[in-house]
Amino acid sequence: MDSYPAIEDHGLIGDLQTAALVTCDGTVDWFCAPRFDSPSIFAALLDKDKGGYFRIAPCDVRYVTKQLYLPGTPILITRFISADGVAEVMDFMPVTGERATDTHRLVRLVTMVRGSMRFKVECRPRFDYAREEHQLETHRHGYIFRSRSASLTFNPVDPVRHLIAERGDVRLENGDLVAYGTLNQGDTGGVVLETGDADPRIFSPEEVQGMFEWTRDYWRRWLERSRYTGRWREMVERSAITLKLMTYAPTGAMIAAPTAALPELVGGTRNWDYRYTWVRDTSFSVHALLGLGFTEEVSRYMDWLDERIREAGDLQDPLKIMYRVDGSSDLHEETLDHLEGYRGSRPVRIGNGAADQVQLDIHGEALYAMHLADEQGIRVSHQVWKSTVRLVDWLCRHWDQADAGIWESRHHPRNYTFGRVMSWVALDRAVRLATRTGRPGDITSWSDQRNRIYNQVMERGYDRGRGTFVQAYDESVLDAALLAMPAVGFVTPSDPLWQSTLAAIERELVSDSLVHRYDPVHSPDGLPGHEGTFNMCTFWYVEALARSGRLDDARLTFEKMFTFSNHLGLYAEEIASTGEQIGNYPQAFSHLSLINSALTLNDLLDAEADAHRRR
């Protein structure tokens, strides 16, 4: 690779156990296997020279590229358009099912639509984040790249000559494979990459066509379960597919993003590994998924969350803020000093040291999800409820302490207002659950502690001099996390205390409708440098505006956000001052908050329209 593509110049494909990123020029530059959080096989996204990649693209011709998804699916089509012809590369991963497996297939098919083109195929894997050497084995029907801990099989699609021609057009370069082939109008060629220890073979066109049709039909059948018929349906459905792509089918856990170490500021140090399941993120997705009608996905996630609650409750410990997709919690953070990072953004981190932080708010998100699921008939077992009671009792004893906060500050702990608000949510939803279901719990104590939290937030979380709720007690800094207060029911949208807070956030954290999380200059988080605006916070702002009755402002802000998505409707974590997407990509929090904003805004716009009609 000659240079780094923009983060947004990628499409996402996946098989519900792992995923890959494909650039607009036909390069797979990020792929980990056999799971989302496994070591990488291709990681040129983090080091263009050392990371490894798999590229299929025309050579010796000038062309432009266009990219789109096959409607209703995550099957990616990259189009190469030149005066000599038009070709399409179709990339997809057949869904693997709910049993964890080491075998994953990445299918790349090339079709010559018009004219003819000569193609160059480069397969340059670098196993274990480019830390392991590998050998290339030549077999009668294909090739195997083999390292100490993993292997990758290169299987041609028949007729082989259509893409990689004859053996004389294949070069082996220090363990890498480079091949050339010319396609004429109507020709189709391809490659099936396969992880695990499979022998190379030539795939027939009929077998590959079968994989394509099965994958296409699986996703379209899944999407048909959505009951959303409101405004912005295309964006909402693309976000739903993206969230599903980031869900690990064997457990139902959703990762925050399929990438690691993509910077929040190009050249900066805020480069984290997001290939894990945050209790906060996935719990907030419950509202989005239920709103679209995907109850099965919610049920699977709640099973996963129930196990985490049982583990914490049985040990009388708080929930951890994040876990691996299998529920394990060893997320040791390390830096990969041999990789230069995306556009020189170092350090490159894998693992996540924030996993051991205490963040009080996650108990609120977990009980919020449990309460929503229970309303839809997705109820916890007796054993899980017993563990939930222990967890809530722990929170009653420990809510009044400093913590690391929602933004995972690596500075000193503080008394974050949002952490107290979500602790209130945890106790409030626990009381509601116990009352509605008749299950045992110390409702009197829970209610008393809930009321104490509420009064404390009103006394210490609200700066009467500034007229706003603030990020932390005894401080005057604002925090965009406060935008969630009306949505969780802590304040009513019309409350003057909230309205003055919303006005202050607009003055200090909103820039051209985009929202910063906080100002790190006035709220040190233990890290150098700045960051972009945070997409999730912008969508929270949309929802806050809508709930406050400012529907025109909410709609304009919402639709402005569409201009910051990429050509496929995908969002990273943040938007840079240049308008580029930055941070890990695509980001589950961005997409689930888009869905939640659409649900709220669409309902309120419908209600407004109904009111006008009745007049």
Residue-level pLDDT at 614: 87
From residue 355, how far is each of 320, 394, 422 by CA, in Å? Answer: 7, 19, 19
Q: Say how far apart CA 104 and CA 110 lie, in whole Å.
A: 20
pLDDT at 509 exceeding the cut of 60? yes
Q: Which helix (H) or strand (E) holds 248?
A: strand 247-248
Q: Which helix (H) or strand (E) holds 69?
A: strand 64-69
What pLDDT digit, counting tens, does each position of 398-444 carry?
999 999 999 988 778 999 999 999 999 999 999 999 999 999 999 99
206 CB burial (10 A radius; 0-12, 13-18, 19+): exposed
CA angle 428, 484, 606 (to 5 degrees): 100
Sign, CA torsion 411/412/417/421: positive
The position carrying tokens 């716009």 is 605
From residue 356, how far is each of 39, 319, 321, 333, 435 by CA, in Å? Answer: 22, 10, 8, 11, 33
What pLDDT digit, counting tens, does each position of 263-318 carry?
999 999 999 999 999 999 999 999 999 999 999 999 999 999 999 999 998 888 99
Q: Say how far apart CA 247 and CA 611 lie, in whole Å.
A: 40
Residue 586: pLDDT band with limits 50, 70, 90 = very high
Average of per-residue pLDDT across 338-358: 96
The CATH class for the domain spanning 234-608 reads mainly alpha
Contact between residue 587 and residue 260 where contact means Cβ atoms under 8 Å apart: no
Contact between residue 56 and residue 110 where contact means Cβ atoms under 8 Å apart: yes
Q: Say how far apart CA 446 and CA 430 lie, in whole Å.
A: 8
> Is 7-222 CATH 2.70.98.10?
yes
What pLDDT digit, counting tens, does each position of 120-169 carry?
999 999 999 999 999 999 999 999 999 999 999 999 999 887 787 655 58
At 579 the three-state DSSP class reads coil
Residue-level pLDDT at 91: 98
Is pLDDT larger for residue 521 or for residue 200? 200
The region, left, alpha or beta by phi > 0 then psi within -120 to 50, assigned to residue 162 is alpha
The region, left, alpha or beta by phi > 0 then psi within -120 to 50, assigned to residue 225 is alpha
DSSP codes joined into one string, 71-128: TTS--EEEEEE-SSEEEEEEEE-----SS--S--EEEEEEEEEEEEEEEEEEEE--HH
Contact between residue 66 and residue 86 where contact means Cβ atoms under 8 Å apart: no
Name the token pair of 223.
């999407």
Residue-level pLDDT at 167: 55
Domain ranges of the chain: 7-222, 234-608
Name the token pair of 202.
């030539």
Mean of all residue pLDDT scores within the chain: 95
168 CB burial (10 A radius; 0-12, 13-18, 19+): exposed
Q: Say how far apart CA 285 and CA 22 lie, in whole Å.
A: 26
Name the token pair of 210.
């079968």
pLDDT at 525 exceeding the cut of 80? no
Computed on alpha carbons and rounded to an integer, the radius of gyration of the chain in Å comes to 25
Contact between residue 122 and residue 55 where contact means Cβ atoms under 8 Å apart: yes
Helices assigned H by DSSP within 249-339? 279-292, 295-315
Residue-level pLDDT at 531: 82
pLDDT at 362 exceeding the cut of 70? yes
The position carrying tokens 């309902």 is 603
What pLDDT digit, counting tens, does each position of 86-115 carry?
999 999 999 998 999 999 999 999 999 999
Residue-level pLDDT at 195: 98
Question: Phi and psi dihedrals of 191, rounded to 5?
Answer: -140, 140
Average of per-residue pLDDT across 235-244: 98
Residue 388: pLDDT band with limits 50, 70, 90 = very high
CB atoms within 10 A of CB 7: 27
What pLDDT digit, counting tens, does each position of 177-210 carry?
999 999 999 999 999 999 998 899 999 999 999 9
From residue 66, how far is each of 122, 339, 437 by CA, in Å? Answer: 21, 30, 54
Q: Which helix (H) or strand (E) holds 591?
A: helix 588-614
The DSSP code for 465 is: T
